[in-house]
Amino acid sequence: MTDAVTAPPRSRVWAWGLWDWGSSGFQHIALTFVFSVYLTGSVGKDLPGPVSANSWLAWSTAAAGLLIAVLAPVIGQSADRRGRRLRATGVWTALVVVCMVGMFWVRDDWSYLWLGLLLLGLASIFVELAYVSYYALMAQVSTPRTVGWVSGFGWALGYVGGIVLLLAVYLLFLSGDGGLLGVPSAGGLDVRISVLVAAVWFAVFAVPMFLVVPETPPAVPGAPKLGVAGAYRALFAQLRELYRSDRHTLYFLGASALYRDAVNAIFSFGGVLAVTVYGLAPGQVLVFGVAVNVVAAIGALAGGRLDDRLGSKTVVVASLVGLIVVAVVLLVVSGPTLFWVFGLGLGLFVGPVQASSRSFLLRACPDGQEGQLFGLYATTGRAVSFVAPALIGLFTWLFASDRAGTVGIVLVLVAGLVALLPVRSPAQPAAERPASPVSPA
């Protein structure tokens, strides 16, 4: 990681953070509030057979998670050894954008459900592989004493980007009768154009990082390709070394895999459940998405400040407790009003969990191994990433109730918190944290 004396310029921090801003195009429009709701509420509404579109979405998400678990070790190790973190992020970003463009052809008919699920699943895989290298690039834009703030700043930019984009597509295409531009809703055209705009959004705002942030030097100059088998041998060797030298980092990887799976499920299914359980109209889901992103951005910024002062683990534990309490309340309440109240509560705690988890890992990581460790972060996360979606699908199917699926999220959150409690925090810098690297001079 960059030391405090050679702190990176603010332009580099902003350029890195704008990738998070751009990725809101996928996270908020495709994955959470628009396209996934369109798939389950419109495209798959009249799906024949005993299995609902909600269950198919849950199980396709679980399948994507298994594929990420297989691929992430190869991606992370290759990016570190050959100095290609920036290039790897660019390749996976481009593939996400291509999948989002393909979503434009998913019409409002149940026969298109499989195409929509395939494209959403592939984009989910590609974006997670992009995160492996993108998180590792945080070492290029932060110092040991500002990593918490930089991580929180990136998450906050992502949430603010989501706010701007959600407002734009809602006002232009989705509000009232086709929005300000009068786009017809026949065949889902209004939603399909929204996803197309989100794809362009991601592509445009990803560009500054590739122009400003330097490529990482190879950890092993002239290193040959490991191949899949070699990457897995290196993975197991790294796990053994971690167990001998820093087993608490290994324990953190396991614990965070569980609670991150639950947090991802909140994003993947939050918009769907808002419609099917709490009675929000699809347009209201977008307005809720804007509000929850405002709250989440505030939470991420506040959590980043607290992270550098109190430590990453303290922030994550407190936020997980908050998530569990709010999620349990949401299990028993009904109606749009109470969903608004407690759904915004979820947003307050989601940002700090995500931001402080990656700053925890970066603090614990030896220099030059960030890609490998974040590859493990993705691998361990995706090794169990099918659990929450599979439980959601199982409970939904067993009880013929979309609300029952929420129990799966609560169970995985509790398991992650219990596993995290015994984990020792990485060492905090002894000196006082300097001024924010992105604050005004």
pLDDT class of 56 with cuts at 50, 70, 90: confident
| Per-residue confidence (pLDDT) for residue 188, from 0 to 100 | 92
Q: Which residue would you say has higher pLDDT here, 209 or 40?
A: 209
| Interatomic CA distance for residues 435 and 422, integer angstroms | 32
Give me 164's structure tokens: 């701007």
Each residue's pLDDT tens digit, 229-261 = 776 777 777 778 777 877 888 888 889 988 988
What is the chain's length? 441
| Per-residue confidence (pLDDT) for residue 226, from 0 to 100 | 62
Give me 268's structure tokens: 């993947």
Strand, helix or coil for residue 203: helix
pLDDT class of 21 with cuts at 50, 70, 90: very high
DSSP symbol at 8: P
C-alpha dihedral, 73 to 1 to 155 to 348, nearest 10°:
100
**What are the distances in angstroms from CA 102 to CA 95, 114, 195, 205?**
11, 13, 9, 20
Top mean pLDDT of 375-389, 399-413, 424-438 is at: 399-413
Q: Report the range of poorest mean pLDDT among 69-83, 278-292, 394-408, 414-428.
A: 69-83
| Per-residue confidence (pLDDT) for residue 359, from 0 to 100 | 84
Residue 236 burial by CB count (10 A; 0-12/13-18/19+): exposed, middle or buried? Answer: exposed
Give me 255's structure tokens: 């614990």
Give me 391's structure tokens: 């439980």
Amino acid identity, position 14: W
Give me 175's structure tokens: 């509000």
Mean pLDDT throughout 386-396? 79
Whether the Cβ atoms of residue 123 and residue 26 lie closer than 8 Å to each other: yes
Quote the pTM value.
0.73
Strand, helix or coil for residue 87: helix
Q: Nearest CA to 125 among 36, 79, 65?
A: 65
Does pLDDT of 5 surpass 60? no
| Per-residue confidence (pLDDT) for residue 433, from 0 to 100 | 38
Interaxial angle between packed helices 189-212 and 147-169, expressed in degrees from 0 to 180 and rounded to the nearest 10: 150
Does pLDDT of 153 surpass 80? yes
| Interatomic CA distance for residues 237 and 239, integer angstroms | 5
| Per-residue confidence (pLDDT) for residue 367, from 0 to 100 | 65
Each residue's pLDDT tens digit, 420-430 = 999 988 765 43
Q: Which domains does the chain have, with CATH numbers?
A: 15-212+236-420 (1.20.1250.20)
Mean pLDDT throughout 317-321? 95
pLDDT class of 89 with cuts at 50, 70, 90: very high
| Interatomic CA distance for residues 99 and 125, integer angstroms | 11
Does pLDDT of 440 surpass 80? no
SS (H, E, C) 324-356: HHHHHHHHHCCCHHHHHHHHHHHHHHHHHHHHH
**Chain-centre distance of CA 135, in angstroms?**
11
Each residue's pLDDT tens digit, 92-109 = 999 999 999 999 999 999
